[in-house]
Chain A
Amino acid sequence: MRVDKARCVGCLECVCYCPVGAIKEFPQEERVFIDEEECVECGCCLRVGICEYDALWQPELSWPRIIRAEFSDPCLVHPSTSVTGRGTEETKTNDVTGRYPRGYVGIAAELGRPGTGTWMRDIERVAQAIIPLGVELVSDNPTYNLFEDPGKGKIKEDIRGEKVLSAILEFKTTVARAPQVLKALDKVAREVDTVISVDVASMLEPDGSLPAEDVAAEAGFKLRPNGKSNLGLGRPRAKILEGGKR
């Protein structure tokens, strides 16, 4: 995002809309500027139409900066998933896709959420702590494409300096292995310079019990009382092969 200095009158109305505080006031001039290091190109300030003087404008973004918009602007369709924003289909379509079949759990670590943002180095650090545990990094997730080598959790060299509003590391693992993954995630979360919203997902068993709940309890964590429930109304249903493959 940029500010047209000829149009900006320094009313400061836009400042509070920035999710990462990147719109700043010039100390001795009656106008604002965008701290490009901090700006995650989410487009929020422009989209809400707060500037009466049309001083905010979005330049065309090129690689690698476009990574910021792809992970921060919820209106952009991510090229890797055909889904708007940085999210994935995860639980939302699990009744159809079988992404997390019986016997498996999905674990997601959303770095930078809420309201903090994250740098690529933190994503790499968390990935490198979890991948050696033998989990499967979910490939139809935008974050997967940030890695030069997803098997090693190494971020591509030319995007290392980029910051995004948040990025979701999504893993699939067996119910048996999941508590160990959560413990490792807890450990590495204490070493990064951002916040991480963590969740765990699974299919419900025929008796109504939820393996994800047992996994969290075994690892020593408590689940919040609210979250997402897929009602199982979608069709057709993917055929699940041995080993949880689709």
Chain B
Amino acid sequence: MTHTNHRQGTLESLSKDYVVFMYAASGFNDKNVGPKLQEFLQLGLKYHPVNIGSPRVGNRFTVSPEELVEGVVKEKKAYLVFDDKERAGAFVKDVVKADLGVSVIVSGLFREADRMCQAAGIKRHTAQCSLGVWGKVERLSRQSEILDITTMCGHGMVSFNLVRRMADDVRKRRLSPEKAAGIIAKPCVCGVFNPKRAEELLSQYIASSPGG
């Protein structure tokens, strides 16, 4: 009951992070949903998402958009990530108009999801809200930028150590921030990781800890 729900970050950073996805309900509308997922992805690709994916098919860093569209025919869900609320909102408008009959979810700032719905002439149905991290939080990384990056993979496939290693490679000019963000995005098989946001956060992390 989580996945993209616990993305951490400042309001400014989260305002550049929207996951729009389609999810078929098992036993209700998951039979032969493949063509609808394909249509959903094709509608979204027009708006230049920064990542796309489906867990058993791959993400932008492991498969091409064409391979993903072809591969989701046997799947039940597909994800697109936008770093811009206008493009995400325009996509939502198209999806509402297409009326595919399958659940669609916007993960991001609630106020923006609300605006997107208003612009598309609909009202949100259900909302799921994070109450943050409880328990033994001292076991987490102390650098907020690292957690802001790793929590973009809801399945926890992006390790704290991978982010530290990539930051080190950028500091030593072995990699550009863009290339490093792409490497960090790869383990997130669903494609919900936002590499553009990761690039910014990585640069902030490096600036705040120049010696590593």
Closest to A190 in B: B135
B55 touches A74 (CB 8 A): yes
Total count of chain B residues near the partner, CB < 8 A: 78
Given that A230-B103, A231-B117 are contacting pairs, would A195 and B130 also be in contact in the complex, using a CB cutoff of 8 Å?
no
Interface residues of B in 86-145 (CB under 8 A from A): 92, 95-96, 99-111, 113-114, 117, 122-137, 139-141
CA distance A196 to B151 in the complex (A): 13
Q: Out of A48, A195, A212, A236, name the residue touching B129 (CB < 8 Å).
A: A212
- Could you give, for residues 95-106 of chain A, a 1 whenever the CB lies within 8 Å of some chain B CB and a 0 otherwise? 111001000001
Tell me if A224 is interfacial: C-beta within 8 Å of chain B.
Answer: yes
> Which single member of A47, A115, A199 contacts B160 (CB below 8 Å)?
A115
* Contact between chains at A110 and B28 (CB < 8 Å): no
Residue in chain B with minimal CB distance to A92: B23
A244 at the interface (CB under 8 A from B): no
Instruction: State how many angstroms separate the Cβ of B39 from the closest Cβ of chain A.
Output: 13
- Asked if B132 and A233 make an inter-chain contact with CB atoms under 8 angstroms apart, the answer reads no
Bound CA span A48–B11, Å: 31
Residue of A nearest to B146 (CB): A115
User: Given known contacts A16-B164, A189-B135, A228-B4, is B128 in contact with A90 (CB within 8 Å)?
Assistant: yes
Q: Chain A interface residue count: which class?
A: 35 or more
**Residue of chain A at shortest CB distance from B151:** A114
Whether B129 lies near A223 (C-beta < 8 A) is: yes
- B48 at the A/B interface (Cβ < 8 Å)? no
Structural contact, A108 and B2, CB atoms closer than 8 A:
yes
With A and B bound together, what is the CA distance between A88 and B6 in angstroms?
Answer: 15
Chain A contacts for B3, CB-based, 8 A: 87, 228
User: Are the CB atoms of B14 and A226 closer together than 8 Å?
Assistant: yes
Ordered by A's residue number, 8 sampled pairs between the chains whose C-beta atoms are within 8 Å are A75-B55, A94-B126, A166-B156, A195-B137, A227-B129, A229-B117, A233-B95, A234-B104
